[in-house]
């Protein structure tokens, strides 16, 4: 039996442990994840060894992990039946932290620029996270090599460790942890079970806890199971377990690829955009695993932000990790994972839109805003989202229309996609800007969501068809039965007089008053002067609360409207004429969604009504 031997850590060791304990881990519970991960690695390596070597110690022993907690004495024991270690290996694996390379690691940790994944194996970092919770740790191990003697390693996290003989008759590794006073919670089986299910539920070996005869963990991860072997009920059950959302998801995506990157993924699009009160998922992001070990509960880098509503898990054996396993190392692999996953989500949505229009309409109502945000924020990267957009139109206000549907219906000669921006579908349909298009039977997209104004910053065209706001469109005069014939229009002299009267009443509130070439039903409309920011940009400034002075509008009047014909007969400068001019202007503001205080019009409207009633009462024959 070999006598115990003491090894002194280098001066850097305490500094290194301080970094590991206080800087690289956010939650102390991850020490258990690290130890279970190490045990899983040892079991995997033994399983590989046994493929070619029949001369291993205890060949019939179950490949498993066992935890036992002594709540009274504040102790935790973790055992595995894996590869085990010899004396030389235990010094190498658990003692290398004392080697001169520690200084290099400390410098790397300070500048945060080095690839920590390259030094994990040199430092046994995952194992040393145990000192976040341990007063002392004893590791006993017996190698799979039949001639090897069991060995013991003991440390308190101070300046030395001891290596000596151990009493151990079976193959594998046993870790005995004496817990710090502020870590006694980790001797509670209920707490341990919760940690295992959170971080290590899908380790591919059974994890037994205490005297329980059944493993605590699920072992077989659904995302690593063949799609043909998974039932719809299993997909639904997993979604409920993942999210605690008992409403069925709209769809699920189960993908397994080896090229261009190796990954397993099981993703869901929820049935509702808003998380329920009891949802387990409190943030955006996917659960990220490496070899069935949870690395990140909410990873936001695996999908573009406009797909952040997607729930699910991603697992990759190729994933390079940083020293704590809590953050994925910056590398060329993450962009590849992101590209593959985003492409799969896009493909699934395209299929849904093409084959299940009603279901896609439900998706659009819940999550369409995310796609609009994507186009607004990254137009160069979101070209593929444009076919997924849906709109109401003036000709089809009750159903959703895609841009391809719109282009499939436009008449020969139309070279643009027309749209109008407003506050609500019902009000925008009554906009005077649409009169021309109603009369001509021209379809116009109705953009009434506040996000639409932002989306238009990135949606300038589609398939070589530019988008054009109807309020600014340069169009020929209307030719329809509703158009006012020249004989019904105000005489030029009368109209000029009326324009002068409008200018006198409205003053600096408008930049001009002129005749409209497009109105047939409405008395007036407001348009922007040449060179002004487009209407949607003005709305963006408004929504953002930016300091922005909206340009003064031009008031266009319909020379054929009966109201103007009657208005010219009133006494110039009379109170009633003044009230009506004010009301025509403010009604136009209201239609545009620009009126600062609509209730202020009430008194004026009542005065006009009173004048109308008085006029009727004064007519001959009235009673």
Residues 16 and 38 in one domain: yes
- Of 333, 355, 377, which residue constitutes the final position of a domain? 355
Residue 125 confidence (pLDDT) above 70: no
Domain assignment present for residue 330? The answer is: yes
Q: How would residue 538 be classed by pLDDT, with cut points 50, 70 and 90?
A: confident
Domain assignment present for residue 371? The answer is: no
Q: What's the CATH number where 191 sits?
A: 3.30.565.10
Rg (CA), the chain: 37
Number of H helices, E strands in the chain: 19, 21
Residues 48 and 148 in one domain: yes
- For residue 399, the model assigns a pLDDT of 94
Domain assignment present for residue 190? The answer is: yes
Contact status, residue 289 vs residue 295, Cβ threshold 8 Å: yes
More confident residue, 224 or 93: 224
Residues 142 and 73 in one domain: yes
For residue range 192-224, list pLDDT tens digits in order.
Answer: 999 999 889 989 999 999 999 999 999 889 999
Kindly state the DSSP code that residue 86 receives in the 8-state scheme.
-
Residues 183 and 154 in one domain: yes
Domain assignment present for residue 205? The answer is: yes
Q: Please give the mean pLDDT across all residues of the chain.
A: 87
Q: Which pairing describes strands 445-447 and 392-393: parallel, antiparallel, or unpaired?
A: antiparallel
Mean pLDDT of 96-101: 47
Residues 145 and 75 in one domain: yes
Q: What's the CATH number where 524 sits?
A: 1.20.120.790
Q: How would residue 114 be classed by pLDDT, with cut points 50, 70 and 90?
A: very low
Domain containing residue 317: 222-355
Residues 64 and 176 in one domain: yes
Domain assignment present for residue 238? The answer is: yes
For residue range 453-486, list pLDDT tens digits in order.
Answer: 889 989 999 999 999 999 888 776 655 444 455 5
Residues 52 and 151 in one domain: yes
Domain assignment present for residue 429? The answer is: no
Domain assignment present for residue 595? The answer is: yes
Euclidean distance between CA atoms 161 and 10, whole angstroms: 11
Residues 228 and 334 in one domain: yes
Residues 98 and 230 in one domain: no
Euclidean distance between CA atoms 93 and 83, whole angstroms: 13
Residues 191 and 150 in one domain: yes
Domain assignment present for residue 331? The answer is: yes
Euclidean distance between CA atoms 520 and 560, whole angstroms: 8
Q: How would residue 280 be classed by pLDDT, with cut points 50, 70 and 90?
A: confident
Residues 179 and 247 in one domain: no
For residue range 345-401, list pLDDT tens digits in order.
Answer: 999 999 999 999 999 999 999 999 999 999 999 888 888 999 999 999 999 999 999
Mean pLDDT of 510-538: 87
pTM for this entry: 0.77
Helix H or strand E segment including 305: none
Residues 186 and 267 in one domain: no
- E-strand stretches of 32-99: 65-70, 75-80
- Of 335, 355, 375, which residue constitutes the final position of a domain? 355
Euclidean distance between CA atoms 595 and 600, whole angstroms: 10
- Of 172, 188, 209, which residue constitutes the final position of a domain? 209
- For residue 620, the model assigns a pLDDT of 64
Residue 139 confidence (pLDDT) above 70: yes
Tally of domains within the chain:
3
- Which of 14-23, 275-284, 288-297, 410-419 shows the highest mean pLDDT? 410-419
Percent of the chain whose predicted confidence (pLDDT) is above 70 = 85
């Amino acid at each position: 039996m070999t006598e115990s031997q003491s090894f002194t850590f280098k001066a850097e060791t305490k500094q290194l442990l301080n970094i590991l304990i206080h800087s690289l881990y956010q939650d102390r519970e991850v020490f258990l994840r690290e130890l279970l991960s190490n045990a899983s690695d040892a079991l995997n390596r033994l399983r590989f060894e046994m493929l070619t070597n029949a001369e291993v110690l205890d060949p019939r022993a179950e490949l498993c992990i066992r935890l036992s907690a002594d709540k009274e004495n504040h102790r935790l024991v973790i055992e595995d039946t894996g590869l085990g270690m010899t004396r030389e290996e235990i010094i190498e694996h658990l003692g290398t932290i004392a080697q001169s390379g520690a200084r290099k690691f400390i410098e790397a940790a300070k500048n945060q620029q080095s690839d920590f994944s390259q030094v994990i194996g040199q430092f046994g970092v995952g194992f040393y996270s145990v000192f976040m919770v341990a007063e002392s740790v004893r590791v006993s191990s017996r190698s799979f090599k039949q001639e090897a003697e069991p060995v013991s390693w003991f440390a308190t996290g101070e300046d030395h460790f001891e290596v000596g003989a151990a009493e151990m008759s079976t193959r594998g590794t046993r870790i005995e942890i004496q817990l710090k006073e502020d870590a006694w919670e980790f001797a509670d089986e209920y707490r341990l079970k919760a940690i295992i299910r959170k971080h290590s539920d899908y380790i591919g070996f059974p994890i037994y806890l205490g005297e329980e005869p059944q493993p605590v963990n699920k072992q077989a991860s659904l995302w690593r199971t063949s799609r043909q072997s998974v039932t719809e009920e299993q997909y639904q059950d997993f979604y409920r377990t993942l999210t605690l959302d008992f409403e069925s998801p709209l769809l699920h995506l189960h993908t397994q690829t080896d090229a261009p990157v190796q990954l397993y993924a099981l993703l869901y699009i929820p049935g509702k955009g808003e998380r329920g009160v009891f949802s387990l998922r409190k943030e955006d992001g996917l659960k990220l695993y490496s070899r069935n070990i949870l690395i990140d509960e909410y990873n936001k880098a695996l999908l573009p932000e406009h797909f952040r509503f997607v729930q699910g898990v991603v697992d990759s054996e190729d994933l390079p990790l940083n020293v704590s396993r809590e953050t994925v190392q910056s590398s060329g692999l993450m962009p590849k994972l992101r590209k593959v996953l985003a492409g799969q989500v896009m493909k699934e949505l395209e299929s849904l839109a093409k084959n299940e229009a009603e279901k896609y309409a439900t998706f659009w109502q819940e999550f369409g805003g995310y796609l609009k945000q994507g186009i607004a924020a990254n137009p160069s990267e979101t070209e593929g989202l444009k076919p997924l957009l849906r709109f109401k139109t003036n000709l089809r206000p009750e159903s959703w229309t895609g841009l391809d549907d719109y282009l499939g219906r436009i008449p020969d000669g139309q070279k643009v996609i027309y749209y109008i921006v407003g506050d609500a579908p019902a009000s925008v349909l009554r906009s005077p800007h649409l009169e021309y298009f109603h009369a001509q039977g021209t379809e116009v997209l109705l953009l009434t969501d506040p996000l639409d104004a932002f989306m238009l910053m990135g949606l300038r065209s589609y398939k070589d068809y530019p988008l054009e706001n109807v309020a600014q469109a340069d169009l020929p005069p209307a030719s329809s039965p509703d158009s006012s014939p020249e004989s019904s229009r105000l005489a030029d002299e009368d109209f000029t007089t009326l324009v002068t009267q409008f200018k006198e009443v409205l003053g600096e509130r408008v930049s001009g008053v002129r005749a409209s070439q497009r109105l047939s039903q409405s008395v007036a409309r407001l348009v922007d002067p040449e060179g002004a920011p487009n209407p949607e940009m003005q709305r963006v400034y408004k929504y953002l609360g930016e300091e922005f002075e909206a340009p003064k509008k031009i008031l266009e009047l319909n020379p054929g409207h009966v109201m103007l014909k009657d208005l010219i007969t009133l006494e110039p400068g009379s109170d009633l004429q003044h009230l009506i001019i004010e009301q025509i202007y403010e009604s136009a503001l209201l239609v545009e969604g620009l009126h600062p205080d609509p209730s202020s019009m009430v008194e004026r409207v009542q005065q006009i009504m009173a004048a109308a009633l008085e006029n009727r009462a004064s007519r001959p024959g009235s009673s």
